[in-house]
Structure 1
Amino acid sequence: MASDSDDDMPLARTNGRVSNAHISKSVDKAMDEAASSSAHNAPAGISIRNGLVLDGNMDVDVPSTNGTVKRKSRGSTSKAVNYNVQGSESDEDAVPLAKRQKTKAKAQDSDSEDEKPLSSKKNGRLPPKNNTVALGEGSSDDQPLNKKLASKKASIERKAEKEAKVIRAKDKKSKAVKDESDDDVKANPRRKPNGTAIKVNGVKKVESDSDDAPLTKKATAKKANGKVKSEAGTPVKKGKKKEESEDAEEVYRWWDAPKKEDDSIKWETLEHNGVVFPPEYEPLPKNVKLLYDGKPVTLSVEAEEIAGFFGAMLHSTLNVENPTFQKNFFADFTEEVKKTGGAKDKDGNKVAIKEFSKLDFKPIFNYYDGKNQEKKARSVADKKADKAAKDELEAPYTQCTWDGRKEQVGNFRVEPPGLFRGRGEHPKTGKVKRRVLPEQITINIGDDARVPPPPEGHKWKAIQHDNKATWLAMWQENINGAYKYVMLAAKSSIKGQSDYKKFEKARELKKHIDRIRKDYTKDLKAKLMADRQRATAVYLIDKFALRAGNEKDAENEAETVGCCSLKFEHVTLKPPNTVIFDFLGKDSIRFYDEVLVDEQVFKNLKIFKKSPKKDGDDIFDRLNTSQLNKHLTNYMPGLSAKVFRTYNASWTMSNLLKELEDENFSIPEKVKLYNDCNRKVAILCNHKRTVGAGHEAQMEKMTDRIKGVQYQQWRYKQMILNIDPKQKKKMEKIHGAGYFEMNKDLTQEWVLEHQAFLVQDQRTKIEKKFAKDNEKLAANGEKEMKAKELEERLEVARDLEKKFKKENKSKNVEAEGRGASIEAIEGKMKKADDRITTMQLQAEDREGNKEVALGTSKINYIDPRLTVVFSKKFEVPIEKFFSKTLREKFTWAIESIEDEDEWEF
């Protein structure tokens, strides 16, 4: 769909060098000649992450740093923050995490890259390349993986094109039937206007064609406006305690309720109790002071609280050693010090705080760390009592009354003051998040409802009764000026309806996807620069799941970008048709990907990057997100760039699940089948993540668990020989020679380590049980057990240690338990076999998921009804796919699917 753009149209952005309004024939021809001289293009439309691109391979561009060299992805930093208390760990642990990672990366032996752990390859910066294992397929096929992937993706897209045409044809037919029916009604008033015949003289004359049903089918209502008790899809079990059944909340079946005439009206009545404020600041004891230049200083309560924010988080070296964090904190801290009377020494003389390096927060850190340790050391009973008291205090705020029914409130707590951290290298990291006062909060509530009282001595900023809004309270935070809202919880009907609309919009896109792809493919060769840039952007968003991207205020926000806001340095071109993206995406997480694109798209990007453009210049300089989304609404109302991610993920998953057949698999095998499909969605739709830093350690742990069961299985076999040595010949005849030998992976060194682990694990369990039993006795006012009792209990661990030593010496394993029989031991071996199979499937799953966040795609992009359909069709409990929280969130999906063969995405 070409636009009416011309030379006089306003530019999307005016910063930097701007492309010409039209693309001349000479430029097009020159690019065509350059493309034809290159090697044949590889299959387009897929990601081919293969690590860093070397300068020598760059025919068009040289990859630049983009300012992202120091950025860390979520995968490389999560769970890796150094919580070291100074002096308590090794020197290496005292080194800041960022520096430590670089040091270790350089220290790796460079002779064999393949022998390094995956998490350390390429300095942990880039994920490893795709392989056939990632797709759950064998490697025996000679067809190149890239071609196989591209072929699969093309096949799914061809199905989408056919489906779109079929749907539009059905809609056209339905409309014709409806128009004909309306004409009949005028001629025959006894006929119903919906096309369904009424009884004439007791005979039903006409039936409506089920094929004429619209795309969005209404589920048959079990109860109009009805309610269902307990968790979604799970009836309340008999025999449960009365209070547990009473706690089961009634679920509002909004998906069965009649549709409102005015969808913008969210509620008629609304009652709630406001928000929970964080506790007031407790000043430090007089003997705990901030040190400046080695001397204690006295601060105002306000300044002391801010100093406490920094002091309490000294363990978080990733933040407190960040120069930007330090600079922003010091600016806000010194401003507060000046505003509240300054700092004073022990004699009351003013102290000028001018250098951050002279501040010493250790006394403050030690104080707060001591309090934390005391809190952790409390008894289980005390912890439970504190939690119960907190829950009782917050109970009135956890629910609201929305149109007469109870709904769960989400974030009813006002965020406490502290230091802003932000994602990635946020320019405002370290600034002080001020305490939010009632005078900043606006309450949204029903006209006739009781307004919740503010804390004593305060008042609310405003009270409003906006029934078109779904928030209960709102305020503006001081860091970025963003508005914070108290909303309903994810499991609420309002959130559920929002999810439903999102996935229905993606289903609606099925009707139009062929026309959209046809139009943007045509406009890839448009003469107008604006049209060609828009078509190229839609191609990248559709094929590679790039986010549309919004322009940022670089001074106040993290410099994250998306497709429309890509700059010259974010895109590297490698002939014949490889494009390398490297930029900070959503939440300041590094987006790095190598993708194969169509020849025309590669050519267009060369034009968009054509000299005199350079670093800092926009690639899509005649396009912004608003223009792009406005164009997309020409195809269907409400269509925006982000709908493509949901559509592509759900449509791909739908196709992959249809190809599955139930071949009498076990439940774990069926779960793996589903996860394999989920993983393919991530690969084919380019939803990926960096390999986590702890992945290798997790895989080693899983391998050790499997080895542990294999070792126990070997012991069972030795027990059989202990009972009846004649079984050796008999069993080897059935199972083959070497049946009674230990698995080759179980070395003598490993066995000794494992035995030591089992003994220590036994000791630890006994000690924990002893401590827990004593806590219960103390809580009931009874006398605690003495240490002698613990020693007697530990005798079990000592006996186990002696048994292992005896087995290692004699090479004979005695049968365990009274009256041990070969049949009983074989039963245990069968259970061990099942455990090994299950754990191996889990290990394969985890290895396959190292680059894929299955949860993210399953929750946000794949229609949950697809998971429900799979669960019903393959008879796998929905609990295997959705946690309790997700089952509550997706109640509408679980309850609305009655016949898995009738519903499809």
Structure 2
Amino acid sequence: MPSDSSDDDMPLAKPKHVSAATVTASADRKMDKSISKARPAPPGLSIRNGPIDDRMDIDSGPNGTIKRKSRNSTGQTVKYKEESDSDDAAPLAKRQKSKHLPPSIKDTATLESSDDDQPLGTKIAQRKADIEKAAAKEAKAIRADAKAKKATPRKAIKDESDDEPLAKPKKRQSNGVTSAKKANGVKKEDSDSDAPISKKAKKAAPVTKGKAAQAAKNGKGAAKAVKAESKDNSEGEEEEEYRWWDAPKKEDDSVKWNTLEHSGVLFPPAYEPLPKNVKLYYDGQAVNMHVDAEEVATFFGSMLHSTQNVENPVFQKNFFADFKDILKKTGGAKTSDGKAIDIKDFKKLDFTKIFEHYKALSDAKKARPAAEKKAEKAEKDEAEAPFMYCKWDGRKEKVGNFRVEPPGLFRGRGEHPKTGTVKKRVLPEQVTINIGKDATVPTPPPGHKWKAVQHDNKATWLAMWQENVNGNYKYVMLAANSTVKGQADFKKFEKARELKKHIDRIRSDYTRELKSEVMADRQRATAMYLIDKFALRAGNEKDTENEAETVGCCSLKFEHVTLREPSTVIFDFLGKDSIRFYNEFSVDRQVFKNLKMFKKAPKEDGDDIFDRLNTSQLNKHLSSYMQGLTAKVFRTYNASWTMSQLLQKLKVEDRTIPEKIKLYNDCNREVAILCNHKRTVGAGHEAQMEKLGDRIKGLKYQKWRSKMMMLDLDPKLKKKKGAEFFELDPELDQEWIEQHQQFLAKELKEKIEKKFEKDNEKLVAEKKSKLPAKELKERLKAVSELEAKHKKENRTKKVEADGRGASVEKLTTAIEKLDDRIRTLEMQSADREGNKEVALGTSKINYIDPRLTVVFSAKFEVPIEKFFSKTLRDKFNWAIQSVGDDDTWEF
């Protein structure tokens, strides 16, 4: 008998349970009988979003008993980053009472409601089903159109543009992205490379600054609101913008540049040691240590305000381990008289003095005069100027992240196992430079040299190094508004547009294969359903020892999925960036049945749900429908297609610009809901909403005062307009009014003091004497006068007309303007309330084709600045310029 002594100290491998290779008819029937016959909720819906609760864990155990599963994977998240559960019973949307009145502050205008008794969930499901039907119809029409054109002699179609939307008159586009068919069909790509795109349209003339300004002023020509020329800071001359969407295609797609010049990277400043009177304390004793160890101590001490991190046991443990390690390497810790201190208990460390030192520095920095801040900024800009731009094939391109990250403590996101680990200072000896052969190599800091210099013109990075925490490589790339990044974005959205040709066949196939006898095919079809319907990421295997245990669809474990009859699936796992993904979905009955089958005993915690599927197999299958198709393309397609369908159905005639913006945001929000792009409610949301509510109340109070002034000027108005016109808004009780009056007095006081301080700064700059203190005292009399006026108004319930030339006509005009401001703020409030669990920015930046926004802007004459910030206008310049004023472009 072989000895087993060698195995005594080895952990036993956990048994891995795998689903059967095939699904027999008897197993299928048995599973059918185990499924509840209760009427399920409409499939394809997110039921709720929040922490899990014991009542939801109702998977049946092997013997039919109720099994409650542990949730080890999310324990830390719940403890340190609590996710609030929304108990708001308000409906998702309400129809506006009239075209001029916004919804209530608490309403979320996402989906139109009606007076029927149809549940909102059913309406959302129906809307989603209608959008999917439209997608299938579009796909069939595109293929039929392509087939017809293929059968037509070339001569008959050579003058036709391929990019006309279906069922619309032919109209030649000027966007350079000639058509859904042309742009998608000319070149089939298998990756999101940075190669320029071939275009059919001729080069358009650059937009002049004068035209751009006029377009922005008129609210027309969204594309032209962006400058067509960029200023060369180093040479002081302007150069014409490179319109890559109009440029001819390169012969070699793999070559990214022919010439490349840049200045390397900017390293952070050296560490400045603490003053001698600022020390780290251990068990009440001041600690002396090497400057390298002191720097690590300041990393922790300077962030005591970030309790979410410094109170996290994992963060503390990792920091303390690294701190002790560097102490050991640098000679250890000593008392003021030179005696060694054995630091072995984290709880005995006191970083208070270090924190107070850095807080004092921060407060002093904030309190500096404006002139000093301005001078420091100018000095910083001057130091950074050489690194901000590079020469890429002779063109000036902005560099994105040229600064090397300073040393500190790694925070990570979610439950990262290495949170608190020391991020070491990056030295030039770790940095590889990528530059043109004939270019001057940047000079490293004195006493240092680069790790390597290479001339790889197939790479788009300028510099690279490896960080110590996770061993990841960091790259210096071009900025988001650069040619390279723009081309990558363009190709991403074009690939999503290409998917609309095939989406009906893909959905039809995976729906059929949900009942396949081959287990691998059934699992693949189920995964595709989840990825398509609920925007789950595909997921990849992780090195759990060094990385957070993040999960995607294909890597779901037994414990990540809970089933609740009749058709609800509860997901609870750590997703991308260790962010907890918790959601409940109503799924198709066959999908529910399949997941129950994939979780069937003897499977248990730790076992894979999709044990016969991985991401590579899934993407290989998808590529059989369309070259380069991967699971991630579905997220972009679903968001963009849904947004395009919603925008087409909008009725915005006779709407103001704020109302049009809100309608657009409502569509964006609906995309997030239908595509399940959700987020946790921000910690400061309630405070922000309360502040906005107070602003609205303040305007209503101001409106009431204006009406009372009208009565003061003409008492007969009460009879003419009716007493109701002059009544105080029910929201404004006396207690709130008195608090608001105190706020107004305080606000006026701060305004006067700030103006006084600025006046003095200006006098000092002009080398004149400061204003005397009595001048401030004299100015502050206005505050006392305001307080006295408020007291009198509260006592008499009357408001005396003030201001020069006060008249009923002027007050009437003022009230109309206040009404407009109130309506605008109430729309903003409804927007924010509706967006509290929706990641509008993420959807708009990453998933919704920006050309849809540009078309909306041009068609309804809303300035593009209302939708895209300056940064986004730079990033999506290709979309703004290529679509231009053409409002017929379609996704």
TM over 0.5: yes
- Matched position secondary structure for 2:571: strand
Shift of 1:712: 1.0
Separation (CA, whole Å) in 2 of partners of 1:136 and 1:800: 46
Determine the structure 2 residue equivalent to 1:5: none
Separation (CA, whole Å) in 1 of partners of 2:227 and 2:565: 62
Residue 739 of structure 2 aligns with an amino acid whose one-letter code is E
Separation (CA, whole Å) in 2 of partners of 1:445 and 1:365: 42
Separation (CA, whole Å) in 2 of partners of 1:486 and 1:518: 43
Indicate whether 1:789 and 2:775 are aligned. yes
Shift of 1:527: 1.5
Residue 16 of structure 1 aligns with an amino acid whose one-letter code is K
Shift of 1:789: 1.1
Residue 151 of structure 1 aligns with an amino acid whose one-letter code is Q
Check conservation: 2:49, 2:85, Cα contact below 8 A.
no
Shift of 1:519: 0.9
Q: Say which of 67, 72, 85 aligns to 1:67.
A: 72
Aligned residues: 820
Determine the structure 1 residue equivalent to 2:46: 47
Indicate whether 1:813 and 2:788 are aligned. no
Determine the structure 1 residue equivalent to 2:37: 38
Q: Say which of 517, 521, 525 aligns to 1:535.
A: 525
Q: Say which of 195, 200, 224 aligns to 1:233.
A: 224
Residue 215 of structure 1 aligns with an amino acid whose one-letter code is K
1:726/1:62 CA distance change after superposition, 3 Å: farther
Residue 708 of structure 1 aligns with an amino acid whose one-letter code is G
Shift of 1:165: 0.9
Shift of 1:301: 1.8
Determine the structure 1 residue equivalent to 2:848: 862
1:809/1:222 CA distance change after superposition, 3 Å: farther
Shift of 1:494: 1.0
- Matched position secondary structure for 1:639: coil
Check conservation: 2:302, 2:358, Cα contact below 8 A.
yes
Determine the structure 2 residue equivalent to 1:351: 341
Separation (CA, whole Å) in 1 of partners of 2:871 and 2:746: 36
Check conservation: 2:435, 2:454, Cα contact below 8 A.
yes
Check conservation: 1:48, 1:130, Cα contact below 8 A.
no
Determine the structure 2 residue equivalent to 1:131: 91
Determine the structure 2 residue equivalent to 1:825: 811
1:693/1:374 CA distance change after superposition, 3 Å: closer
Determine the structure 1 residue equivalent to 2:97: none
Indicate whether 1:27 and 2:27 are aligned. yes
1:66/1:637 CA distance change after superposition, 3 Å: same
Shift of 1:346: 2.5
Separation (CA, whole Å) in 1 of partners of 2:692 and 2:622: 47
Instruction: Give the stretch that moved more between structures: 789-798 or 358-367.
Output: 358-367
Instruction: Give the stretch that moved more between structures: 340-349 or 254-263.
Output: 340-349
User: What is the CA deviation profile of residues 651-709 of structure 1, one whole-angstrom value per residue up to 9, with x for unaligned ones?
Assistant: 00000011012321011111111011111111111111122222222222222111111
1:247/1:40 CA distance change after superposition, 3 Å: farther
User: What is the CA deviation profile of residues 445-494 of structure 1, one whole-angstrom value per residue up to 9, with x for unaligned ones?
Assistant: 11111110111111111111111111100000000100000011111111
Shift of 1:574: 0.7
Separation (CA, whole Å) in 1 of partners of 2:256 and 2:206: 19
Separation (CA, whole Å) in 2 of partners of 1:511 and 1:706: 48
Check conservation: 1:225, 1:253, Cα contact below 8 A.
no
CA RMSD of aligned residues (A): 2.8
Indicate whether 1:653 and 2:643 are aligned. yes
Shift of 1:319: 1.4
**TM-score normalised according to structure 2 size:** 0.88
Note the residue ranges of structure 2 that are not aligned, 5 or more in a row.
1-12, 61-65, 94-107, 161-169, 184-197, 214-222
- Matched position secondary structure for 2:118: coil
Indicate whether 1:900 and 2:886 are aligned. yes
Indicate whether 1:757 and 2:748 are aligned. no
**TM-score normalised according to structure 1 size:** 0.86
Determine the structure 2 residue equivalent to 1:9: none
User: What is the CA deviation profile of residues 587-619 of structure 1, one whole-angstrom value per residue up to 9, with x for unaligned ones?
Assistant: 221111111111110000001100011112111
Separation (CA, whole Å) in 1 of partners of 2:14 and 2:455: 42
User: What is the CA deviation profile of residues 24-50 of structure 1, one whole-angstrom value per residue up to 9, with x for unaligned ones?
Assistant: 222111111222x52122211111117
Shift of 1:380: 1.1
Separation (CA, whole Å) in 1 of partners of 2:741 and 2:237: 46
User: What is the CA deviation profile of residues 726-752 of structure 1, one whole-angstrom value per residue up to 9, with x for unaligned ones?
Assistant: 1111112xxxx5111111111111111
Indicate whether 1:680 and 2:632 are aligned. no
Matches within 5 A, 1:717-796: 717-732=707-722, 737-796=723-782
Separation (CA, whole Å) in 2 of partners of 1:242 and 1:784: 41
Determine the structure 2 residue equivalent to 1:215: 181
Shift of 1:522: 1.1
Determine the structure 1 residue equivalent to 2:682: 692
Separation (CA, whole Å) in 1 of partners of 2:886 and 2:672: 24
Shift of 1:526: 1.3
Determine the structure 1 residue equivalent to 2:505: 515
Determine the structure 2 residue equivalent to 1:389: 379
Residue 664 of structure 1 aligns with an amino acid whose one-letter code is D
Residue 851 of structure 2 aligns with an amino acid whose one-letter code is R
Residue 688 of structure 2 aligns with an amino acid whose one-letter code is Q
User: What is the CA deviation profile of residues 300-350 of structure 1, one whole-angstrom value per residue up to 9, with x for unaligned ones?
Assistant: 121121112112122222212211111111111111111122222223233
Determine the structure 2 residue equivalent to 1:109: none
Residue 619 of structure 2 aligns with an amino acid whose one-letter code is N
Indicate whether 1:161 and 2:151 are aligned. no
Residue 274 of structure 2 aligns with an amino acid whose one-letter code is L
Indicate whether 1:877 and 2:871 are aligned. no
Check conservation: 1:654, 1:866, Cα contact below 8 A.
yes
Q: Say which of 804, 807, 818 aligns to 2:790.
A: 804
Q: Say which of 433, 452, 457 aligns to 1:443.
A: 433
1:369/1:828 CA distance change after superposition, 3 Å: same
User: What is the CA deviation profile of residues 495-526 of structure 1, one whole-angstrom value per residue up to 9, with x for unaligned ones?
Assistant: 11111111000000001101110111111111
- Matched position secondary structure for 1:429: coil
Residue 67 of structure 1 aligns with an amino acid whose one-letter code is N
Matches within 5 A, 1:246-285: 250-285=240-275
1:787/1:209 CA distance change after superposition, 3 Å: closer
Separation (CA, whole Å) in 2 of partners of 1:175 and 1:234: 40
Seq. identity, %: 65
Separation (CA, whole Å) in 1 of partners of 2:89 and 2:451: 55
User: What is the CA deviation profile of residues 705-727 of structure 1, one whole-angstrom value per residue up to 9, with x for unaligned ones?
Assistant: 11111111111111111111111
Shift of 1:227: 8.3
Instruction: Give the stretch that moved more between structures: 126-135 or 616-625.
Output: 126-135
Separation (CA, whole Å) in 2 of partners of 1:151 and 1:359: 60
Separation (CA, whole Å) in 2 of partners of 1:562 and 1:782: 67
Instruction: Give the stretch that moved more between structures: 514-523 or 53-62.
Output: 53-62
Separation (CA, whole Å) in 2 of partners of 1:129 and 1:445: 59
- Matched position secondary structure for 2:319: helix
Residue 855 of structure 1 aligns with an amino acid whose one-letter code is G
Shift of 1:383: 0.9
Check conservation: 1:291, 1:359, Cα contact below 8 A.
yes
Separation (CA, whole Å) in 1 of partners of 2:510 and 2:764: 73
Residue 22 of structure 1 aligns with an amino acid whose one-letter code is T
Determine the structure 2 residue equivalent to 1:118: none
Separation (CA, whole Å) in 2 of partners of 1:34 and 1:754: 62
Separation (CA, whole Å) in 1 of partners of 2:508 and 2:636: 20
Shift of 1:250: 4.4
Separation (CA, whole Å) in 2 of partners of 1:698 and 1:62: 42
Separation (CA, whole Å) in 2 of partners of 1:829 and 1:540: 53
Residue 371 of structure 2 aligns with an amino acid whose one-letter code is A
User: What is the CA deviation profile of residues 57-89 of structure 1, one whole-angstrom value per residue up to 9, with x for unaligned ones?
Assistant: 83647563422554448xxxxxxxxxxxxxxxx
- Matched position secondary structure for 2:397: strand
Indicate whether 1:668 and 2:651 are aligned. no
- Matched position secondary structure for 1:280: coil
Determine the structure 2 residue equivalent to 1:845: 831
Separation (CA, whole Å) in 2 of partners of 1:746 and 1:491: 48
Determine the structure 1 residue equivalent to 2:103: none
User: What is the CA deviation profile of residues 230-280 of structure 1, one whole-angstrom value per residue up to 9, with x for unaligned ones?
Assistant: 896227799xx9999968774321111112232221111110000000011
Separation (CA, whole Å) in 2 of partners of 1:245 and 1:660: 48
Check conservation: 1:573, 1:579, Cα contact below 8 A.
yes
Indicate whether 1:582 and 2:582 are aligned. no
